[in-house]
Amino acid sequence: MQIKNKKNIIKTLPLEMQKEAENYIEYLLSKDRAAKKIKKHRPYALCRGEFEISDDFNAQLSDDILKTRGRSF
């Protein structure tokens, strides 16, 4: 059935049923919009080679690194 025919059928329904159909259509559209907003996972290794993590992650950063970041602790 084509969309135009469906619109015409909705118009022939009693007013209360037209409102129900309209509410259901709004529900479906909002569900579709919400599904499109779901973020996709970023590709693996997107920043490969742009930085290194020390073997001891909790070790204090060197002065050179701190100076290049504009901070000193």
pLDDT tens-digit profile of 33-70?
A: 887 777 777 788 888 888 777 788 888 888 887 787 66
Residue 63 located in a structural domain: no
Q: What is the pLDDT of residue 65?
A: 78
**Range of weakest confidence among 2-6, 27-31, 54-58:** 2-6
Residue 45 located in a structural domain: no
DSSP letter assigned to residue 2: -
User: Measuring CA to CA, how many Å separate 3 from each of 16, 33, 53?
Assistant: 21, 20, 57
Model pTM score: 0.42
Domain that holds residue 7: 3-37
C-alpha 65/C-alpha 67 separation (Å) is 5
Structural domain count, the chain: 1
Residue 9 located in a structural domain: yes
Residue 15 confidence (pLDDT) above 80: yes
Q: What is the pLDDT of residue 23?
A: 93
